[in-house]
Amino acid sequence: VTRCCWAQSAKQNGPVPKSSCSFTGTCQVQISSAASKPEIMEIPVFVLDAFTNVPFKGNPAAVCPLMHELDDRLYQKIAAEMNLSETAFITRTNPSDTFASGSKFHLRWFTPTTEVNLCGHATLASAAVLFLFEKNINSTVMFETRSGLLAVTQQKDGYLMDFPLNPPTKQDPNEFRDLVQAAVGNNPVQDVVLSSVTKKLMIRLSDSCDRSVLTSLKVDPVALLKAENGGRVKSLLITMKGSPECQPGYDFYSRVFAPWSGIPEDPVTGSAHTVLAAYWSKVLGKKIMTAYQCSSRGGELELEVRDDGRVNIAGEVTSILQGTIRL
């Protein structure tokens, strides 16, 4: 809006009608406009089901490939908004790379309440985003993470992850009596072991138990938190021996609960199998195993324990959603 200022002219010659203002002295220009809108940030987001080839099975993960790092508080807010077990954020290690050409990336994982040190299913999903949607040209991509360098290789059917192995140590069940009771009640327990590195406590049900004992457990996450609040445990694994002689031939079964990280029950957990694979490989005397996680969604993992202290974890991924977060 432009307004001619005739105040000086009026003093000298009397008022001048606005409509006929012809003052040639100094004029004021007032510009009024609506407040400029802040720039909208657009973040691509994908949701994929990991460790399955069937939609709505396995473990869903959200994946956000980012051109630049974001503030940690924003990472956490996005993860809380997605409200899945984990949301993964991928960034480039080399600014000259693209998601299609790069072979190494940064990767971070957030639950709805906290950042975690290791996550299998969201790593699997992140690699799938790079290969399927970003058309990455490499056969293997590497992720720099809190747990070191993790490699994921594209296979004919699914993806193969190279993860650290986390062997557990035997524990006195009485040391975790309240937690064991809250988890499995009066069902017979054959072993209790702990991975101090990952703070994962594993309870092995007796071989006399049928698989239905594991699947029918009603585990109260609040009871778990009350039974263990000293920081020794961040995740609880309940497992039992499988039936490899019966098709499809699973070597062991498991369920995973992590209310300490905001996850009442995790549907299919790659990181838990860095502990489970180490334990069952020793018990069964096998390097190559097939495992099934008996959550309501369920998921299958192919495992190979290596001699170099690593474990290969293989699984399939199916895409569910592709969209944009606008902030």
The pLDDT-based confidence of 208 (bands split at 50, 70, 90) is very high
Determine the structural domain holding residue 192 and report its residue range.
Answer: 169-305
Question: What is the rounded average pLDDT of the residues 120-125?
Answer: 98
Q: Determine, yes or no, domain membership for 64.
A: yes
312 found inside a domain: no
Q: Is the pLDDT of residue 232 over 50?
A: yes
Mean pLDDT in residue range 65-73? 97
**Residue 15, pLDDT above cutoff 60:** no
Does residue 28 sit in the same domain as residue 47?
Answer: no
**If you average pLDDT over residues 112-140, what whole number do you get?**
98
Specify whether 184 is located in the same domain as 300. yes
Q: Please tell me the distance from the alpha carbon of residue 221 to that of residue 232, in angstroms, as a whole number.
A: 16
Residue 131 and residue 183 share a domain: no
pLDDT score of 129 more than 90: yes
pLDDT for the residue numbered 36: 66
pLDDT band per the 50, 70, 90 thresholds, residue 11: very low
114 has pLDDT over 60: yes
Cis before residue 248, ω within 30 degrees of 0?
A: yes
The mean pLDDT of 133-140, rounded to a whole number, is 98
Same domain, 173 and 159: no
Both 14 and 83 in one domain: the answer is no
Q: What digits encode the pLDDT tens for the residues 32-67?
A: 444 567 789 999 999 999 999 999 999 999 999 999
Catalytic residues: 86
Round to whole Å and give the CA distance between 123 and 84: 14
Residues 236 and 273 in one domain: yes
Q: What confidence score (pLDDT) does residue 283 get?
A: 98
pLDDT score of 151 more than 60: yes
* Structural domain includes residue 127: yes
SS3 for 17? coil
pLDDT at 248: 83
- Helix, strand or coil, per DSSP, at residue 69: coil
Least confident span in 15-24, 55-64, 112-121, 287-296 = 15-24
Domain match, 158 and 173 both: no
Query: Residues 255-312: pLDDT tens digits?
Result: 999 999 999 999 999 999 999 999 999 999 999 999 999 999 999 999 999 999 999 9
| Residue 144 burial by Cβ neighbours in a 10 Å radius (0-12, 13-18, 19+) | middle
Report the CATH number at residue 251.
3.10.310.10
